[in-house]
């Protein structure tokens, strides 16, 4: 059974987190302001079609919109369960974060051999954020056409946009990327 109070709180939290007013969300979804307001106040039960439009407008899956908040959920992912992606050129990505419905976070460790260019990566959806931390070696990160040289222990933050990583040094480089993504992540979309 759909809990209207919890749904209303969830819709409002997502809307406010994205800096959207009721009118803006209405324009994006095609759902009237009065209906959105009634849903947030738990006064009306929306149809599946209306819920789907709201979820799309808030850039979450329908399941992510309806998933109960699981503050007590613990997910253990053993090292043997990490997804490992070997890329051409000898570099490797290890997806450290488990896929959890409604949680749009990605954590990946990458190892670039010496003199390896991983190339450019497309941006996540607008409003996404990425954090990079170099564990070993030297990483050259290109963000908005500016190159940043990061040494072991250095960190870098940028709002998600097209970016590139390379190791121009003589030693391997290992770095981690944590991304807060404004769209759901699936098992097939790890990138950095």
**Residues 54 and 84 occupy one common structural domain:** no
The CATH number of the domain holding residue 172 is 2.60.120.10
Provide the pLDDT for residue 104.
73
Compute, in degrees rounded to 10, the torsion defined by CA atoms 137, 138, 139, 140.
Answer: -160
User: Is 72 part of any domain?
Assistant: no
**Residues 85 and 162 occupy one common structural domain:** yes
What is the 8-class DSSP label of residue 144? T
User: Is 22 part of any domain?
Assistant: yes
H/E stretch holding 107 reads: strand 105-112
Of 118, 133, 124, the C-alpha closest to 104 is 124
Token couple for 78: 């053993």
**Residues 86 and 61 occupy one common structural domain:** no
pLDDT tens track for 123-144: 887 778 899 999 999 999 999 8
Provide the pLDDT for residue 31.
93
Q: Which residue would you say has higher pLDDT here, 1 or 60?
A: 60
């Amino acid at each position: 059974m759909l809990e209207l109070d919890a749904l209303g709180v969830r819709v409002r939290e997502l809307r406010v987190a994205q800096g959207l007013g009721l009118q803006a969300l209405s324009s994006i979804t095609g759902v009237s302001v009065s209906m959105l307001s009634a849903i947030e106040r738990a006064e009306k039960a929306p149809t599946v079609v209306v819920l789907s439009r709201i979820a799309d407008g808030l850039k979450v899956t329908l399941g992510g919109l309806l998933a109960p908040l699981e503050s007590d959920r613990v997910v253990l992912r053993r090292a043997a369960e990490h997804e490992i992606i070997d890329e051409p050129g000898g570099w490797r990505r290890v997806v450290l974060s488990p896929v959890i419905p409604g949680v749009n976070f990605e954590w990946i460790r990458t190892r670039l051999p010496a003199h390896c260019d991983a190339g450019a990566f497309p941006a996540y959806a607008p409003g996404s954020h990425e954090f990079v931390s170099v564990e070993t070696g030297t990483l050259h990160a290109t963000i908005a056409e500016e190159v940043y040289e990061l040494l072991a222990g250095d960190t870098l933050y940028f709002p998600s946009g097209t970016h590139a990583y390379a190791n121009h040094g003589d030693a391997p480089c290992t770095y981690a990327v944590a991304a807060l993504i404004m769209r759901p992540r699936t098992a097939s979309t790890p990138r950095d």
